[in-house]
Structure 1
Amino acid sequence: MNGQQSHRPSRRQAVKGAGVIGCVVALLVGGGVIGWQTLADRPSEPVTAVQPGQDPLLEALADSAVSGGPGKDGIPSIDKPRFVRAGEAGFLSEDDPVFGLEYRGEVRAYPQLVLVWHEIVNDTVGGEPLAVTYCPLTGTVIAFSAPPGVQELTFGTTGQLVNSNLLMYDRQTGSQWPQLLGQAVSGPLKGTKLDTVPLVWTTWKQWRTAHPDTTVLSTSTGALRSYGSDPYGSYDGYPDRSGYYATGRPIFPVLATSDRFADKDVVIGVRVGEERLAIRKDLVRTAKIVRAEVSGTQMEARWDDRLGTARVVQQVGERWEPADFLDSMWFAWYAFYPNSQVRA
């Protein structure tokens, strides 16, 4: 039944049960200690496990995978999502964050309070298989589809993390994909890049007002989860945050770090060809439009007052089209893309 907490140990219990004693953090799962980390031992200066001027190699990313606590599929994906009309989404409050999708003529909202417990929704939108993914540890939400020439893929959770980010696997080949990267780092599809579809962070009130015809992912998932509670913290009053989402360093290892911004600061990450750009989200909020050139392409990050979020478009001929962009905590974006350009 919905509304009940699962008894399966997970890293959410680890985060919720973390205790700090004498600057030592114990991560607890099912009453047992799975790891200790002395905060004083953490380096105060940026560290890197990659070559300067280069992003990590796929092999380095694959080798850096660590257990996040649960086993394979211990965080269950939603494989038969159910949607309700906006007027039937009584489980949502006005300030609850949702991830908005406009794609192939369909408009959908994926509540954060559902995805925080599942991380992957294997959906079909406009007749096309689409995996909607969310990693609470890095604040990244991305929709994926298989590129041309690759079979349709569905995804599950490996139970492991790369750069503190969800490591997915596809059920067709067993290849493994860090969610933020969107590229297979191991398995038969190693090197393959997924096609991405942007989603936007907004609140339920803003999304429903802008899209009264939206449908909403339901809490009727068939899983035992305490929807409405978040063991990581809170996005109440979005964009204000508390708990893990607000401050502190990542819990799990990362290949590279930078003190350019605070670890949990939100940036808008943009990918064009082989070049990357990180724009501090607050800059877009205040400036309304931030222009940049990436890989010879003119880009604009535009603030959407109606939804209280940022969108990125790129110039293609005489038109402006959606770019490949996403919200991300700074530490995660930098760990995958230390060679990224930055606009602050």
Structure 2
Amino acid sequence: MSLEPRTPSRRQFLKGAVVLGGVGTLAVAGGVALWQSTGTSDSAPGASLAPGDPPSLDALAEAVTSGGPGKDGIPPIDRPQFVAAGRVDFLNDDEPVFGLTYRGEIRAYPQLVLVWHEIVNDTVGGQQIAVTYCPLTGTVIGFTGIPDGPALTFGTTGDLVNSNLLMYDRQTDSQWPQLLGVAIRGPHKGQRLASVPLVWTSWKAWRTTHPDTLVLSTETGSLRRYGSDPYGSYPRRSGYYVEGGPFFPVLATDDRFGAKDIVIGIRAGDATVAVHRELVRREKSVPVTVGGTRLTAEWDEALETARVTGADNTADGAVDVLDAMWFAWYAFHPDTEVLR
């Protein structure tokens, strides 16, 4: 299928901006900023790749494009507030949440909140963690900073690479594509962030499995329409999340899967594997070898999601694992091995 970016059929409000897709011009009407489409392209500007070549950091930097809102125009949550599961009255059973178990603490970050903020700068078990979500690529990742480095907090640049959130750290202003977790600009260029996996599941499944969970509150200090989604609906599988290709340019495309099909992306060093989520759901257990590391992708019936474990039945700390839309994983990793 074609992965050509498409212009949305409706306006999408993010921080008062109406994102109509593609690179456009900023206009103001009645006090509301309007991001007006001027057309899109299926290849990113400033770089060309040979088939199967992973993009260099410089190629990614050249391919940065504006997403519409300016720096921190999509405001991160810096003082997150949490409520007990029994006090949550703003989530339906089928609402997606991103679950975290870390250093003895259990938390859920609702998609309906993060879709408006994309980054939560949190502290869990005494550790600084940035919980990040890019709705354009369907990727949610926790970052604890550079191994053995200083603590970092993050904001949104307003720009994108391969249609993916481009973050910046507030300490050095280095820029980091969220899916890649490697700085492409700034003092930290070339350094990789340590990651913490989050579980993409439903509110009902998470609270049933973890009844003592804390939940990120909608009391964020920002005026947002929590409960509405500018991109469509995950529970009802509609809008951008299932239709067409990416809105914004990407460096490489591949049609082995649908653009918005979900793959389990697994990364160990420079080696990567993409496992189609439906393969794991169907087979229940899929052996995977990544960079010489033997792992297993297993279907978790209780949480209705795929999990990746090592030989000791725990997630391998040297391996990054995340759900991603196929087009986005491939754009960053065109040399990926594929299991389907």
Which amino acid counterpart does residue 67 of structure 1 have in structure 2? S
Q: Counterparts of 1:103 and 1:27 in 2: how far apart (Å)?
A: 43
Q: Deviations over 1:187-238 (max 9, x none)?
A: 000001000000011000000000000000000000010000001000115x
SS of the residue corresponding to residue 193 of structure 1 reads coil
Which residue of the partner structure matches residue 19 of structure 2? 14
Which residue of the partner structure matches residue 21 of structure 1? none
Which residue of the partner structure matches residue 321 of structure 1? 315
Name the CA shift for 1:167/1:89 in 2 (closer, same or farther; >3 Å). Answer: same
Q: Counterparts of 1:51 and 1:25 in 2: how far apart (Å)?
A: 25
Which amino acid counterpart does residue 280 of structure 1 have in structure 2? H
CA shift for structure 1 position 147: 2.7
Q: Deviations over 1:226-261 (max 9, x none)?
A: 000001000115xxx100001201010101111111
Q: How does 1:76-95 map to 2 (within 5 A)?
A: 76-95=75-94
Name the CA shift for 1:180/1:25 in 2 (closer, same or farther; >3 Å). Answer: closer
CA shift for structure 1 position 54: 2.3
CA shift for structure 1 position 7: 8.5
- 8 Å contact from structure 2 (residues 15, 74) kept in 1: no
SS of the residue corresponding to residue 58 of structure 2 reads helix
Q: Counterparts of 2:151 and 2:24 in 1: how far apart (Å)?
A: 41
- 8 Å contact from structure 1 (residues 6, 226) kept in 2: no
TM-score (norm 2): 0.89
Q: Counterparts of 2:150 and 2:321 in 1: how far apart (Å)?
A: 24
Which residue of the partner structure matches residue 279 of structure 1? 275
Name the CA shift for 1:33/1:78 in 2 (closer, same or farther; >3 Å). Answer: closer
CA shift for structure 1 position 14: 1.4
Q: Counterparts of 1:152 and 1:183 in 2: how far apart (Å)?
A: 16
Q: Counterparts of 2:338 and 2:121 in 1: how far apart (Å)?
A: 33
SS of the residue corresponding to residue 90 of structure 1 reads coil
Count of matched residue positions in the alignment of Structure 1 and Structure 2: 320
Q: Deviations over 1:176-195 (max 9, x none)?
A: 00000001001000001000
- 8 Å contact from structure 1 (residues 97, 201) kept in 2: yes
Name the CA shift for 1:180/1:30 in 2 (closer, same or farther; >3 Å). Answer: farther
Unmatched segments (≥5 aa) in structure 2: 1-11
Which residue of the partner structure matches residue 188 of structure 1? 187
Q: Counterparts of 2:173 and 2:298 in 1: how far apart (Å)?
A: 38
SS of the residue corresponding to residue 247 of structure 1 reads coil
TM-score (norm 1): 0.88
Unmatched segments (≥5 aa) in structure 1: 19-23
Which residue of the partner structure matches residue 213 of structure 2? 214
Name the CA shift for 1:109/1:171 in 2 (closer, same or farther; >3 Å). Answer: same
SS of the residue corresponding to residue 120 of structure 2 reads strand
Q: How does 1:1-344 map to 2 (within 5 A)?
A: 8-10=15-17, 13-15=18-20, 32=34, 34-37=36-39, 49-237=48-236, 241-315=237-311, 320-322=314-316, 323-344=319-340
- 8 Å contact from structure 1 (residues 14, 28) kept in 2: no
Q: Counterparts of 2:326 and 2:73 in 1: how far apart (Å)?
A: 27
Q: Counterparts of 1:126 and 1:8 in 2: how far apart (Å)?
A: 31
SS of the residue corresponding to residue 37 of structure 1 reads coil
Name the CA shift for 1:62/1:97 in 2 (closer, same or farther; >3 Å). Answer: same
- 8 Å contact from structure 1 (residues 86, 212) kept in 2: yes
Name the CA shift for 1:27/1:265 in 2 (closer, same or farther; >3 Å). Answer: farther
Which amino acid counterpart does residue 266 of structure 1 have in structure 2? I
Which amino acid counterpart does residue 305 of structure 2 have in structure 1? T
Q: Counterparts of 2:14 and 2:52 in 1: how far apart (Å)?
A: 45
Name the CA shift for 1:42/1:172 in 2 (closer, same or farther; >3 Å). Answer: closer
SS of the residue corresponding to residue 176 of structure 2 reads strand
CA shift for structure 1 position 28: 8.5
- 8 Å contact from structure 2 (residues 271, 290) kept in 1: yes
Aligned-residue sequence identity (percent) comes to 60
SS of the residue corresponding to residue 207 of structure 2 reads helix
Q: Counterparts of 1:220 and 1:122 in 2: how far apart (Å)?
A: 15
Name the CA shift for 1:343/1:30 in 2 (closer, same or farther; >3 Å). Answer: farther
Q: Counterparts of 1:321 and 1:37 in 2: how far apart (Å)?
A: 43
Q: Deviations over 1:139-161 (max 9, x none)?
A: 00000011333110000000000
The alignment yields a C-alpha RMSD, in angstroms, of 2.2
CA shift for structure 1 position 49: 2.7
